[in-house]
């Protein structure tokens, strides 16, 4: 095959690949404990980024000092009221507008050495690819971290099977530079990342798909990232994610790009109604002495147990405890009831018109956890 320039297409592809400019951005808010590991994971890449930018967003700890000890570009926000989106836009405007590929990882995230090279290959292979999400692997070994690790492993599996991602996880991802430039030119945008939504990764993915770009989960790239280690921190994180997503769905309306997300909301609400009615019925029957257990009750739990074990096999870094939690249905039941809790709370907040700062609530919950760990 010959290209329009008269040169073999393969050779042109290699030349284009060699000219790709890759900029990595790490937004960080009080990440002195993790920022070194995040930077070192990028410096250890087999294909190192051409520029690594750490943007400290209103940090009050040693994040800037630690980052400055590495051969990276360090920026600091001043009076940024737009949280992570503001920090990302600042770094993009100053260092990333001409990049071919933008890699983003959180300050508590680290990548395997092959990540950037694999992402570059993905974008070189598909001109329609706008964004590629890593497969987040939650760190930690308590019950809550294991539940989150199983949840994200299942989500990544589903995304890989359907060949599309409805959310490019801001935890660790890569974007085509041209796709970000197009989004930055949309009305009301100060850069690729929006200030209208607290779930900037979902909003960005939606806009990218709206412009015709493909969004996928990478089959080969994963990242290690911090989990919420307490119920309070997890609750506030998921309230932010869930309520932010609902607000975006209401803003966009029902259409071909988000009907599946709307269906997930309907399904979640239906599950709340089902579990409430089923438990109420069983409890009332037990109190009246009419509840008669039957061996057929074990059919569905056994089926769910086998299914959860199959999913657990895909958890990266799994151990026997992950398998026990999956097979015993502890993970799925705990997660199900937690999920119903924050779904119900978020729809209630939406109906009541809450104006609470969701980022501040999450930061406060995480700060309490950190102070207890440091004590």
Per-residue pLDDT of 221-238, as tens digits, reads 999 999 999 999 999 999
pLDDT for the residue 361: 63
Residue 34 confidence (pLDDT) above 50: yes
Instruction: Assign residue 292 a region (left: φ > 0; alpha: ψ between -120 and 50; beta: otherwise).
Output: beta
DSSP single-letter state for residue 1: -
* Residues with Cβ within 8 Å of residue 130, at least 6 apart in sequence: 175, 176, 179, 208, 209, 211, 213, 214, 215
Looking at per-residue pLDDT, the higher value among 78 and 16 belongs to: 78
Give CA–CA dist 157/313, Å, rounded. Answer: 11
Task: Give me the residue spans of the domains in the chain.
Answer: 16-227, 259-374
Give CA–CA dist 335/352, Å, rounded. Answer: 25
Q: Report helix, strand or coil for 266.
A: helix
| Interval 181-188 mean pLDDT | 96
| Interval 19-48 mean pLDDT | 96
Residue 306 confidence (pLDDT) above 60: yes
Report whether 173 contacts 131 (CB < 8 A).
yes
| Interval 232-255 mean pLDDT | 94
Q: How confident is the model at residue 291 (pLDDT cuts 50, 70, 90)?
A: confident
Q: What are the residues facing 73 on neighbouring strands?
A: 53
Query: How would you classify the pairing of strands 22-28 and 51-56?
Result: parallel
What's the order of all strands across the beta sheet hosting 22-28?
73-76, 51-56, 22-28, 101-105, 172-176, 129-138, 214-225, 109-110
Residue 303 confidence (pLDDT) above 90: yes
The least confident of 83-97, 138-152, 347-361 is: 347-361
Provide the percentage of residues in the chain whose pLDDT is more than 70.
89
CA angle, 48 then 49 then 51, to 5°: 135
pLDDT for the residue 147: 95
Q: What are phi and psi for residue 39, nearest 5 degrees?
A: -65, -45
pLDDT for the residue 12: 34
Mean pLDDT of the chain: 90
Q: What is the DSSP string of 118-154?
A: HHHHHHHH-TTEEEEEEEEEE---SHHHHHHHHHHHH
Residue 327 confidence (pLDDT) above 50: yes
Give CA–CA dist 73/127, Å, rounded. Answer: 29
pLDDT for the residue 141: 87
pLDDT for the residue 13: 37
| Interval 307-312 mean pLDDT | 93
- pTM, two decimals, is 0.88
Residue 54 confidence (pLDDT) above 90: yes
| Nearest one of 38, 32, 80, 37 to 57, comparing CA atoms | 80
- Please give the CATH topology (third level) of the domain spanning 16-227: Spore Coat Polysaccharide Biosynthesis Protein SpsA; Chain A (3.90.550)
Q: How confident is the model at residue 358 (pLDDT cuts 50, 70, 90)?
A: low
Q: What are phi and psi for residue 273, nearest 5 degrees?
A: -65, -45
| Interval 95-103 mean pLDDT | 97
* Residues with Cβ within 8 Å of residue 225, at least 6 apart in sequence: 106, 108, 109, 110, 136, 137, 138, 139, 171, 172
pLDDT for the residue 356: 67
| Rg, the chain, Cα only | 22
């Amino acid at each position: 095959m010959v290209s329009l320039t008269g040169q073999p297409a393969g050779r042109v592809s290699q030349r284009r690949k060699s000219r790709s400019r890759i900029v990595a951005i790490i937004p960080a808010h009080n990440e002195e404990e993790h920022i070194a590991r995040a930077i070192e994971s990028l410096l250890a890449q087999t294909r190192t980024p051409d520029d690594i930018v750490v943007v400290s967003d209103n940090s009050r700890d040693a994040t800037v000092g630690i980052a400055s000890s590495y051969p990276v570009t360090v920026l600091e926000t001043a009076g940024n009221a737009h949280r992570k989106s503001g920090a990302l836009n600042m770094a993009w405007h100053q260092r990333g507008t001409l990049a071919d590929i933008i890699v983003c990882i959180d300050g508590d995230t680290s990548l395997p050495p092959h990540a950037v090279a694999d992402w570059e290959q993905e974008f070189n292979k598909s001109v329609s690819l706008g964004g590629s999400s890593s497969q987040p692997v939650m760190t930690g070994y308590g019950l809550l971290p294991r539940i989150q690790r199983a949840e994200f492993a299942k989500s990544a599996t589903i995304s890989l099977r359907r060949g599309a991602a409805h959310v490019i996880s801001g935890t660790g991802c890569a974007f085509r530079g041209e796709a970000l430039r197009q989004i930055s030119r949309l009305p009301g945008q100060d850069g690729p990342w929006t200030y209208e939504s607290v779930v900037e990764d979902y909003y960005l993915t939606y806009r990218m798909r709206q412009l015709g770009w493909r969004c996928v989960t990478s089959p080969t790239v994963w990242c290690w990232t911090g989990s919420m280690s307490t119920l309070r921190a997890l609750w506030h994180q998921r309230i932010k994610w869930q309520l932010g997503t609902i607000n975006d769905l209401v803003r966009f309306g029902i259409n071909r790009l988000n009907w599946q997300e709307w269906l997930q909301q309907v399904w979640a609400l239906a599950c709340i109604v089902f579990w409430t009615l089923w438990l109420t019925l069983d409890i009332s029957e037990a109190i009246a002495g009419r509840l008669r257990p039957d061996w057929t009750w074990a059919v569905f739990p056994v089926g769910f147990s086998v299914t959860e074990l199959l999913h657990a096999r895909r958890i990266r870094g799994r151990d026997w405890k992950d398998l026990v939690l999956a097979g015993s249905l502890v993970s799925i039941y705990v997660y199900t009831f937690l999920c119903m809790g924050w779904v119900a709370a978020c729809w209630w907040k939406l109906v009541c018109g809450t104006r609470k700062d969701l980022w501040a609530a999450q930061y406060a919950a995480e700060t309490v956890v950190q102070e207890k760990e440091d004590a």
